Structure 1
Amino acid sequence: MAGCHKARLVVRGDTQVEGVDFQETFSHVIKISTVKTLVVVDIKQHRPLFQLDVNNAFLHGDLDKEVFIRPLGNGIPSYLKPCILEDILILSMIIPCLPGYFLDDQFKIKDLGSLNYFLGIDVLHTTSGVLLHQRKFILDLLAEFHSDACSPITCPLELNVKLKDRVGNYLPMPEEYRSLISKLNFFTHTRHDLNFVVQHLSQFMQQPCEPQMKVALHLLRYLRGTSDFGIFFNNSSDLSLQVYCDSDWGSCPESRRSVYGFCIFLGRSLISWKSKKHVVISLSLAETEYMAMSKVVAKTIWVCRLLTDFGFPSALHILHFCDSMSAIHNARNPVFHERTNYFELDCHFVRSKLAEGLISLSHTSSASQLAC
């Protein structure tokens, strides 16, 4: 086996089904939105944030007992071959201030003090809240692509730019484009202003052309002047949820699919956002806005359950702001008629949650729409 590869032992891999998940590798990774929500909740409760590091990646050595694994339908039923599981890897963790650090009883723990760096994100504490930014990574990326001395610009994407697939000369080294977009996607964890552009550029990863690379380099010039930008979480005690969702109609020039976006606020702190293309083609603006509403309602339910896990009761009457009166009326009116009977049934998930009282819909002007 090549030295640069890693072997992974899958316990009970026989439960994976060919054609469903047989080729998938399961490796649990924390969601950045979970981390941001936890940080917001802690600072609003005026709790200190601390950071610990496990000194040794391999927490335990040889086991004093053998662990036996018997794959279904493989080998001789009466013969068991021992397999020793040697290590568990812990990357990092955020915990509140606990007297004595009970983990130190089992592992060698290094106290790093107040939280200031986590998963490539710098954490800056101020008297009014916390700022998350990735300035160091941005400067490293600019140097990697020889853009650290370029002239900065103030807009991440030029007006009315709509890229098309297979237009222009193919890049001689497409792996550079893929690497650049992957790293730009990492910056969207703290830079919601990059989300739409990165989503647009990520559609051309397979066969990127010169126009796509030009837009990507344009985005680097924008980062050159905004490298210290980030996301700020204020320490006010407000824990109410507010959601904004919006969608265009058939903006993709090739597939004619629409792009929707949403942002979720906990108090006045932005904890989750997304810009994504719909998987189906919409026949009207009301339909695509209604579809976007159903997506964000599902995301809101996940946030409510996350807050419940953090010890906070589920909020009721979560305000959802939308700039489409047609979509709002369709959610409030359960009557099917010829103008809406083609809507996908899963979109009416919004009506169910509206009837349960989980959400309340409110109209906002396009000028005040934060998700656009």
Structure 2
Amino acid sequence: MTTVRTLVACAVKKGWGMFQLDVNNAFLHRDLHEEVYMKVPQGLEIPNPGLVCKLNKSLYGLKQASRQWYAKLTEALSFRGYTHSHYDHSLFYRKAGPLVVFVAVYVDDVILTGTDTTEIVQLKVYLDDTFKIKDLGRLHYFLGLEILDTTEGVLISQRKFVLDLLREYDCFNYAPLSSPLDPTVKLRAKEGPPLSDPTFYRKLIGKLNFLTNTRLDIAFSVQQLNQFMQDPRAPHLQAAYHFLRYLKKDPTLGVHLSMDPDCTVQAFCDSDWASCPDSRRSVSGYLVLLGNSPISWKSKKQETVSLSSAEAEYRSLRKVVGELTWLHRLLTELTVPISSPIAVYCDSQSAIYIARNPVFHERTKHIEVDCHFVRNKLQEGLISLHHVSTSDQLADILTKALTGVKHSVILHKLAVKSSPPT
């Protein structure tokens, strides 16, 4: 999804047209490179009831299905002169001087964009001759993401998905709330009575996971609710309904990708030290902006216990630097001029001092690998570290539950907007 958001953001900034295709019966186009047999389908009369069918082509439901379809599509695009990206194999491109075309693929859904409109038209004809496709016109709905053109760019939201979710869980009669989680409540793993039907909770959280693709404002809350999937309890379900009431406040919220030609990349990272009351592990969060358009974000509990707040901040710093290393290469492949170093904003002076200090000592030897990685990228000129006050730390929304006022303040600073009325 980060690749899709980045591709759309680049296309909007460069003024490229974006188109979408759907491959008819994609899994039926693949060739099998091994012998696969299946039971005789119901209704097919055969002389010997002990016979089975040998497949010459792939079918839906085979374990080999996705891989074989990808191999078939790659072969077809390669024949046309396309190369798959080294940084995301679902992305293909063809460059001929100043002309470039990008193809993003997710199973049988395809996005086409680039500067060479003639090649885009010819590629549609070629794919239709090869696989039989459905030309869906301009990009407007992809993998459940609604792409809406605005006067200043595009808004990617999941409005229909949110409304269906609220309808399914009967939340339209509840009053809306201004924050996803109650900041005064700390959820614990073994607190409260177990749910009689844990699958109800798991199904809800699974759907909320999908919603984080366009809603960075809920990433922390969903990460928190995910911690209790194994043994959900009544307080966890109550918090999930609190979350749904927040979604009811504005179901049309989404991430806005601006057409402003500014392609400056900047990142914010933060952590909440020892925030988990059960394991005392910290939560890391980072946010990457292309101009003023959010393209990558994550909220995640750290793998190990940090011994200090500086160590927790430094682990968060290492995560965002790893993401920037990949994004820098991807954006270069997307012909986006990246000015180095990339500014990384952190609200911990201690973490910044550790990154700049070439000497290891007793207090940092257990995170030496993290230190080496960040320092190398600092010395290579990929990143530059800057201190930012806590009040201006945009990644704060990814590490802790905030009050409704502070939550709204950060959203106003970010490009998280509502869909205009239709």
Query: TM-score by structure 1 length?
Result: 0.84
What pairs up with 1:274-293 in 2 under 5 angstroms? Answer: 274-293=298-317
Q: Indicate if the aligned counterparts of 2:276 and 2:282 stay in contact, CA closer than 8 A.
A: yes
Q: Indicate if the aligned counterparts of 2:20 and 2:136 stay in contact, CA closer than 8 A.
A: yes
Counterparts of 1:233 and 1:269 in 2: how far apart (Å)?
Answer: 5
Instruction: Report the CA distance shift for 1:84/1:55 in structure 2 as closer, same or farther (over 3 A).
Output: closer
The equivalent of 1:91 in structure 2 is 108
The equivalent of 2:197 in structure 1 is 173
Aligned counterpart for 1:111 among listed residues 135, 159, 162: 135
**Relative contact order, higher structure (CA 8 A, sep 6+):** 2
Counterparts of 2:225 and 2:29 in 1: how far apart (Å)?
Answer: 44
Instruction: Report the CA distance shift for 1:342/1:126 in structure 2 as closer, same or farther (over 3 A).
Output: same
What is the alpha-carbon root mean square deviation over aligned residues? 1.9
Counterparts of 1:316 and 1:59 in 2: how far apart (Å)?
Answer: 46
Measure how far apart 1:147 and its partner are. 1.1
Counterparts of 2:230 and 2:336 in 1: how far apart (Å)?
Answer: 44
Measure how far apart 1:310 and its partner are. 1.9
Structure with a larger share of its residues in helix:
2
Code of the aligned partner of 2:23: V
What pairs up with 1:334-345 in 2 under 5 angstroms? Answer: 334-345=358-369
The count of aligned residue pairs is 327
Kindly provide the CA deviation profile for residues 225-276 of structure 1, in whole angstroms up to 9, marking residues without a partner as x: 1101111000011111100000111111111111110000011100010111
The equivalent of 2:159 in structure 1 is 135
The equivalent of 2:280 in structure 1 is 256
The equivalent of 2:39 in structure 1 is none
Counterparts of 2:382 and 2:58 in 1: how far apart (Å)?
Answer: 47
Instruction: Report the CA distance shift for 1:67/1:198 in structure 2 as closer, same or farther (over 3 A).
Output: closer
Q: Indicate if the aligned counterparts of 1:240 and 1:267 stay in contact, CA closer than 8 A.
A: yes
Measure how far apart 1:306 and its partner are. 1.3
Structure 1 residue runs of 5 or longer lacking an equivalent are 1-31, 71-81
Code of the aligned partner of 1:42: A
Measure how far apart 1:111 and its partner are. 1.7
What pairs up with 1:34-45 in 2 under 5 angstroms? Answer: 34-45=3-14
Instruction: Report the CA distance shift for 1:199/1:67 in structure 2 as closer, same or farther (over 3 A).
Output: closer
Measure how far apart 1:54 and its partner are. 1.7
Q: Indicate if the aligned counterparts of 2:263 and 2:338 stay in contact, CA closer than 8 A.
A: no
Query: TM-score by structure 2 length?
Result: 0.74
Kindly provide the CA deviation profile for residues 60-87 of structure 1, in whole angstroms up to 9, marking residues without a partner as x: 38x6xx84569xxxxxxxxxxx863435
Structure 2 residue runs of 5 or longer lacking an equivalent are 37-53, 60-67, 70-106, 397-422
Counterparts of 1:99 and 1:205 in 2: how far apart (Å)?
Answer: 47
Q: Indicate if the aligned counterparts of 2:284 and 2:300 stay in contact, CA closer than 8 A.
A: yes
1:217 aligns with 2:241: yes
1:298 aligns with 2:319: no
The equivalent of 1:46 in structure 2 is 15
Percent of residue pairs identical: 50
Q: Indicate if the aligned counterparts of 1:291 and 1:347 stay in contact, CA closer than 8 A.
A: no
What pairs up with 1:170-209 in 2 under 5 angstroms? Answer: 170-209=194-233
Aligned counterpart for 1:151 among listed residues 150, 175, 179: 175
Measure how far apart 1:315 and its partner are. 4.3
Counterparts of 1:340 and 1:360 in 2: how far apart (Å)?
Answer: 21
